[in-house]
Amino acid sequence: MSEPITVLIVDDHAVVRQGVRTLLDMHPDLQVVGEAESAEAALPLVEELVPDVVLLDLVLPGMNGVEATRQMKKISPRTQIVVLTSFAEDEHIFPALRAGALSYLLKDIRPR
């Protein structure tokens, strides 16, 4: 069996972080290695943990998800950023993709 995909969850709402963690913990091929409530708190975790994936809220207090994506990709180019957002409009999503995010997930998707 291969190593699990490591995930860092970054969202300013504790209930969202816990919900995402609960969903990911149901998959043995995924391992949540940390959580942060802000981009500023997440940056040192990206450097320390070098997660495979960061699930990153687009709208955060302080540094926003677009700038956080840029900085995380500088710290750990191999880490893939997946933006979590409730905004489906192009003007919210495309800047994050241009900054280096791999993809995005809308927060209103149904869990499987």
Q: How many CA atoms lie within 13 A of 48 on its CB side?
A: 9
Residue 62 maps to which CATH number?
Answer: 3.40.50.2300
pLDDT at 109 over 80: no
The set of residues, in sequence order, having a beta carbon less than 8 Å from that of 83 and lying 6+ positions away, is 56, 57, 58, 65, 69, 93, 96, 97, 101, 103, 104, 105
Local confidence band at 108 (pLDDT 50, 70, 90 cut-offs)? confident
pLDDT tens string 19-74: 999 999 999 999 999 999 999 999 999 999 999 999 999 999 999 999 999 999 99
Rg (CA), the chain: 13
SS3 (DSSP) at 91: helix
Range of the domain at 35: 5-106
Tell me if 112 is assigned to some domain.
no
How many domains does the structure of the chain reveal? 1
